[in-house]
A and B are shown apart, each in its own frame.
Chain A
Amino acid sequence: MRGPRALSPAGEIASYLILSLFSLFAIYPILRVLAISLRPGDRLLSKSLAIIPEDATLATYQRLFLEEPFLKWMGNSVIVSIAVTIVGVGLAATAGYAFSRYKFIGRDTAMIGIITTQMFPVTMLLLPLFIVLIKLKAYDSYLALIIAYSATALPFTTWQMKGYYDTIPFSLEEAASIDGCSQFGIFWRIVLPLATPALVITALFSFMTAWSEYLVANVLIQDQDLFTLPLGLKMFQSNMEVAWGLYSAGAVVVSIPVVTLFLFLSRWLVSGLTLGSVKG
């Protein structure tokens, strides 16, 4: 008998076909940006569909790093994103655990409250923020940015953590309790390691939120020295005709750390830690 994850030969071919088709859909726009970023400066507006253009050159990248304040923006984005990741994982891991395992007064209200914030249109928080900042002249604070981003990611990550904790058998915790583990010890040493896949998703999600956010940063940050990558790239974008190549090169560079992070961490997404521990 075949195992539950094995496929028949026909199923295998169909699977590869489907995966290839969607992979092409997924990767084409990225290749397209890559192609434009490699074009020589005088052929930015070209009708070519070639992925590697003739006379491919890295001149645009050179300009990006040497003549534009691109590296500075990247440093700023890294600082903000790492801070948001740490804060975000800490908040979601604890709150999600309480929602999954404890029955307490206000639990349902708090859970609904957290999800309710996701229904706020961005303008609802941005407009008051905008008005207050103009009145106080309180621009250019990363602290405000970090707190705002952590709150943006929190509703999803908390619910996600809760959903994952729910799939971890409670019997494991009971066993640890019988062995004399404290309640916090159970959370820290038993549950959290088992929840690694969910924690990774939470961390990635928090990082992505901070790395990719444009609108809030646009309202909070005015000083060009404090620009994060989205604000910087937007400067190129506002002049697409001239800076089309610069934008494309910037887009490629901005996407690389995120993609690398995914590649590096993706094996954690598959880890069957829960599976292993239940099977013993």
Chain B
Amino acid sequence: MMAGSFGERRNNRLAYMYTMPALLVMALVVLYPFIYNVVVSLSNMNLTRFRDWKITGIDNYISVFADRSFWYFLFKTGLWTVINVFFHVVIGVFLAIILNKDLKGRTFFRTILILPWAVPQYITALTWRGMFNSEYGAISLILDKLFDLRVPWLTTEWGAFTACLITNIWLGFPFMMIIALGALQSIPDTFYEAADIDGASWYHKLKNITIPLLKPVMIPAITLGVIWTFNNFNVVWLVSNGGEPSDTTHILVSWVYKAGFTYFRMGYAAAFSMVIFGILLIFSWNFIKKTKATEAIY
């Protein structure tokens, strides 16, 4: 697979026909609400001013940045994202490499290891919340029986945060594993056979064959993984039961949901959403630029 072996056609009409259906759907479901959200973010809409709202300018944005909880939850969201994605990718790629070997029962193991992904996310979150229950939860019971250890999982700020982390790592690694496995399987055996003939070590094969060929598939997956984790409402919200204890266990997206749908501060929530979007846009733009994920890698 040398550079230049992949051609690119220039036929605009056909290319537009292929992309048109997808882009139409996106415009309808995404573009229109997005514009509406921008308008609301510049307005004074809230519970008491739901119908007689008017444009008031950037007041909402000012109150977002002036809010100390914004900066605090931004820090927590960053921590949350980095730890999660790190474990997802490391565990996922590691297991994929093992599953790509000639092992008896690998189909069995692969099936078991996919299960966390197969289980719907909201069920995962609620089930783990049950397991962290201090009286009847399996994790509390096991830790108590084996180590005589009582961890206040859901009643302290960092206990709840760790509980959310464990839950999300559990449900996130199979996705990366499957993506990596798909990519590994598309690497022809002949590449490794040729490397063996040249006497390459496992490290050289990993560095010069496996990782370069995993990259074009993994980079988009990791970029999306970061974004999904950053915006993972379900796990944080459901495991912490809406931010318990006392609205400390939030990431930005669960906090803005509370502002919008519990306190009905629509204008503020819309502006807050725009800020979250802005943060991710800046991150992803840099990430894509650095890794050149939009170009063919080889």
Chain A positions within 8 Å of B, measured between CB atoms, are 1, 3-7, 11-12, 15-16, 18-19, 22-23, 25-30, 32-33, 36, 45-47, 49, 87, 90-92, 94-95, 97-99, 101-105, 107-108, 110-132, 147-148, 150-151, 154-156, 158-160, 162-164, 166-167, 169-171, 173-174, 183-184, 197-198, 201, 208, 211-212, 214-215, 230, 233-234, 237, 240, 244, 247-248, 251, 254-255, 258-259, 261-263, 266-267, 269-270, 272, 274-275, 278-279
Contacts and interface: CB of A to CB of B under 8 A. Distances in A.
B6 interface: yes
A113 B288 CA distance: 13
A171 B2 CA distance: 12
Contacts of A173: 7
A230 B28 contact: no
Interface string B204-227: 000000000100110011011001
B115 A147 contact: no
A124 B25 contact: no
Given A23-B113, A124-B33, A29 B95 contact: no
A262 B114 contact: yes
B101 A15 contact: yes
Contact of B196 (A1, A112, A127, A131): A1
A164 B37 contact: no
Contact of B113 (A11, A22, A110, A248): A22
Given A127-B37, A198-B182, A262-B118, A102 B9 contact: yes
Contacts of A127: 37, 40, 260-261, 266, 269-270, 273
Contacts of B182: 164, 197-198, 201, 269
A230 B281 CA distance: 30
Nearest to A194: B186
Nearest to A276: B188
A121 B231 contact: yes
B186 A233 contact: no
22 contacts: A12-B103, A23-B112, A25-B170, A29-B170, A90-B21, A94-B18, A102-B8, A112-B288, A113-B26, A118-B227, A120-B277, A124-B270, A132-B33, A150-B25, A160-B221, A212-B120, A240-B130, A254-B120, A258-B118, A258-B120, A266-B114, A275-B189
Nearest to B233: A122
Contact of A131 (B32, B126, B266): B266
Interface in B190-210: 190, 192-193, 196
Interface string B127-152: 11011000110100110010000000
A167 B10 contact: no
B276 A121 contact: yes
Given A258-B120, A270-B185, A275-B185, 15 more contacts: A15-B101, A23-B113, A26-B116, A104-B16, A114-B22, A119-B277, A120-B30, A125-B33, A126-B260, A158-B22, A163-B183, A167-B183, A215-B234, A248-B127, A259-B119
A94 to B, nearest CB: 4
Contacts of A103: 8-10, 15
A104 B12 contact: yes
Nearest to A275: B188
B123 A121 contact: no
A259 B288 contact: no
B111 A262 contact: yes
Given A108-B294, A119-B277, A183 B11 contact: yes
B121 A212 contact: yes
A146 B221 CA distance: 24
Contacts of B12: 102, 104-105
B1 interface: yes
B103 A27 contact: no
The 5 closest A-B pairs by CB, nearest first: A4-B192, A212-B120, A98-B18, A119-B280, A102-B15
A237 B239 CA distance: 12
B71 interface: no
B253 interface: yes
Contacts of A129: 33
Given A127-B260, A160-B220, A279-B190, A118 B18 contact: no
Nearest to A44: B136
Interface in B275-298: 276-277, 280-281, 284, 288, 294, 296-297
Contacts of A12: 103
A174 B8 CA distance: 11
A99 B19 contact: yes
Contact of A197 (B91, B116, B145, B185): B185
A164 B131 contact: no
Nearest to B223: A115
Contacts of A114: 22-23, 26
Contacts of B40: 127-128, 131
B153 interface: no
A279 B189 CA distance: 10
Contact of B18 (A95, A160, A272): A95
